[in-house]
Chains A and B, each alone.
Chain A
Amino acid sequence: MAVLEILVYPDPRLKQISEPVETVDQALLDFIADLEETMRAGPGGVGIAAPQVGCFKRIVIVDVSCKPKIPHHGRLVLINPVIATSNGSVVGREGCLSVPDYTGNVARAERITLNAWDETGAERVYSMEGFEARAVQHEMDHLEGLLFLDRLVSRRDIFRRKVYQKPRASVSKPS
């Protein structure tokens, strides 16, 4: 196991599109173990994509279980992930191990279903929402050579349009 070097923008390799994984073998599993160790070594990292360490294969790891009180699937290794359906839109603040000292607001689908292989090469279907869904979308963007910088929304556009009714208290819970 090893902590791999993370590519940092403006490294042009971060804009590269990654290739599908053909077979799951021991070399791939060893790489996934290193990728996970790299994710966990980063400050507060809840996800990582293979191209962030210079491996241009369609693999992402997400684990948001450190966040309290949210629905999640625990540690997720997603190989060749494809989003099948997406619904809703929510704006949240994102940062990236590959973009130091900058965070910004990004709009993501609120709920997604996706198909992916697991570490045994078996097809799996996941349905997820909220923070976990945002994390998966952020990581899957890396597979297309996209960073959250490609999806920033203006500070003036970050509040969801919503009609409030008086006199109830209109301060809402966190999204």
Chain B
Amino acid sequence: MKKWYMVTLVGRDQPGIVAGVAQALYAGRCNLGEASMARLGGNFATMLMVEFDGEIPALEAMLEEVSGRMGLRCHVDAIEAGLHCHIEPDVRISVYGADRAGIVAEVTGALAEAGLNILNLETDIGGTEENPIYIMHLDGVAGRGAAALRSVLETLSREKNVEARLVENDLLMG
């Protein structure tokens, strides 16, 4: 029976990482599932669902050459894969403001208390070195309704000097 693994790769970004890793896995008879890859502060970080017949050491060995060549640290975990069972986010929220320590903790803490289950979160730091700004996008499920989240965002916006916006996903099924 085929088994699923989560492969995490982190390293200095350079062209060719995705192709190199994908080719090594394909050559090793792996099947790729869902993946998330991002360039974060000049580093490349990947989480990759891999379906493979063998055990963890064999999968690690398969990735050794490309990891060494491209300066990647590789980590493999056995996982239970849940394909074909996506959870639909029903809200999307953006928050931005002058960058300072604690923004993510304050915003996500308050939203969690108001019932938000975060499915996806991406943050960026923009602006200038002297005046950095923090931009956060998240998708989630409003466990206790969007009104509770909206109320929390209004408070954050007022008290923590951030800009916040919530949009309800009015899913169109056609």
Residues on the A chain within 8 Å of B165, using CB: 159, 162, 164, 170-172
Query: Closest 7 CB pairs between A and B?
Result: A47-B174, A174-B168, A93-B169, A138-B174, A44-B173, A171-B153, A94-B172
Interface 0/1 of B133-155, CB less than 8 Å to A:
00001010000001000100110
Interface 0/1 of A84-122, CB less than 8 Å to B:
000000001111110011110000000000000000000
Asked if A170 contacts B157 (CB within 8 A), the reply is yes
Asked if B171 contacts A95 (CB within 8 A), the reply is yes
Complex Cα distance, B172 from A42, in Å, reads: 13
Q: Does A3 contact B (CB under 8 A)?
A: no
Task: Return the chain B residue nearest A169 by Cβ.
Answer: B154
Number of residues from A at the complex interface, CB < 8 A: 39
Asked if B172 contacts A158 (CB within 8 A), the reply is no
Spell out A's residues near B (CB within 8 Å). Answer: 42-49, 62, 67, 92-97, 100-103, 131, 134-135, 138-139, 148, 155-156, 158-159, 162, 164, 167, 169-172, 174-175
- 20 example contacts (A-B, Cβ-Cβ < 8 A) are as follows A42-B173, A46-B174, A47-B172, A48-B174, A92-B172, A93-B169, A95-B173, A101-B85, A101-B86, A103-B86, A131-B170, A131-B172, A138-B174, A139-B174, A156-B122, A164-B163, A171-B164, A171-B165, A172-B166, A175-B170
Residues on the A chain within 8 Å of B168, using CB: 174
Q: Does B167 contact A (CB under 8 A)?
A: yes
Residues on the B chain within 8 Å of A155, using CB: 120, 122, 137, 139
Asked if B154 contacts A171 (CB within 8 A), the reply is yes
Complex Cα distance, B163 from A102, in Å, reads: 30
Complex Cα distance, B169 from A131, in Å, reads: 11
Q: A95-B171, A95-B172, A174-B170 are in contact. List 14 more A-B contacts (CB 8 A).
A: A47-B172, A92-B170, A94-B173, A101-B84, A101-B86, A155-B139, A156-B137, A158-B92, A159-B92, A162-B165, A167-B158, A171-B164, A174-B167, A175-B170
Asked if B163 contacts A93 (CB within 8 A), the reply is no
Residues on the B chain within 8 Å of A67, using CB: 170
Asked if B164 contacts A97 (CB within 8 A), the reply is no
Complex Cα distance, B73 from A137, in Å, reads: 46
Complex Cα distance, B164 from A92, in Å, reads: 18
Given known A102-B86, A155-B139, A170-B164, contact A97–B173 (CB-CB < 8 A) = yes
Complex Cα distance, B158 from A164, in Å, reads: 13
Asked if B174 contacts A97 (CB within 8 A), the reply is yes
Q: How far is the CB of A129 from chain B (nearest CB, A)?
A: 13
Complex Cα distance, B94 from A175, in Å, reads: 14
Complex Cα distance, B157 from A138, in Å, reads: 35
Q: How far is the CB of B103 from chain A (nearest CB, A)?
A: 16
